[in-house]
Amino acid sequence: MKVDLHPKEGLMVNAFLVLFFIHASQTGVGVVGLPRIVYLAAKHDAWISVFLGGILSGIVLVMMVIMLKKYDSADLYGIQVDVFGKWLGNAMNIFYMIYMILSFFVILMNYIEIVQVWIFPDLPTWQISLALILLTIYAVNGGIRIIVGVAFISVIGTIWLIFILIVPMQYSDPKNLFPILNTDLKHIINGVYKTSLSLMGFELLMFLYPYVKDKKKVFIYSQMGNLLTTIIFTAITMVCITFFAENGLARTIWPVLSMFKIVRLPNLERFEFIAVSFWMLIILPNMCCYLWAASKGFSRIINWKQKKGFSRIINWKQKKGIWIIGILVWAGSFFIKARYQMNELTDFVAHLGFLTAFCYPILLSILVIAKKWYQGRKKKSAEVS
pLDDT at 110 over 70: yes
pLDDT at 219 over 70: yes
Answer yes or no: pTM beyond 0.85: yes
Provide the 3-class DSSP secondary structure of residue 74.
Answer: strand
- Please compute the mean of the pLDDT values over residues 287-311 and round it to a whole number: 76
- Please compute the mean of the pLDDT values over residues 15-20 and round it to a whole number: 96
- Please compute the mean of the pLDDT values over residues 32-44 and round it to a whole number: 93
Q: What are phi and psi of 237, to 5 degrees?
A: -65, -40
- Please compute the mean of the pLDDT values over residues 88-96 and round it to a whole number: 94
**How buried is residue 296: exposed, middle or buried, by Cβ count under 10 Å (0-12/13-18/19+)?**
buried
Higher pLDDT, 377 or 216: 216
CB 20 within 8 A of CB 148: yes
- Please compute the mean of the pLDDT values over residues 49-53 and round it to a whole number: 95
pLDDT digits (tens, 9 = 90+) for 157-200: 988 888 888 989 999 999 989 888 888 999 999 999 999 878 99
DSSP string, 126-193: HHHHHHHHHHHHHHHTT-HHHHHHHHHHHHHHHGGGGGGGHHHHTT--GGGG-STT-S-HHHHHHHHH
The pLDDT value given to residue 205: 96
pLDDT at 277 over 90: no
The pLDDT value given to residue 377: 85
pLDDT at 306 over 60: no
pLDDT at 246 over 80: no
The pLDDT value given to residue 310: 47
Q: How confident is the model at residue 129 (pLDDT cuts 50, 70, 90)?
A: very high
pLDDT at 238 over 70: yes
In the chain, the percentage of residues whose pLDDT exceeds 90 is 66
Kindly list the structural domains of the chain, giving each domain's residue range(s) and its CATH number in brackets, ordered by start.
Answer: 9-380 (1.20.1740.10)
The pLDDT value given to residue 385: 63
The pLDDT value given to residue 235: 95
pLDDT at 328 over 90: yes
Q: How confident is the model at residue 229 (pLDDT cuts 50, 70, 90)?
A: very high
Rounded distance between C-alpha atoms, residue 65 and residue 224, angstroms: 14
The pLDDT value given to residue 263: 84
- Please compute the mean of the pLDDT values over residues 12-27 and round it to a whole number: 95
DSSP state of 203: G
Q: How confident is the model at residue 334 (pLDDT cuts 50, 70, 90)?
A: very high
The pLDDT value given to residue 303: 59
Q: What are phi and psi of 369, to 5 degrees?
A: -60, -45
CB 288 within 8 A of CB 140: yes
Mean pLDDT taken over the chain: 90
pLDDT at 62 over 60: yes
pLDDT at 241 over 60: yes
pLDDT at 308 over 60: no
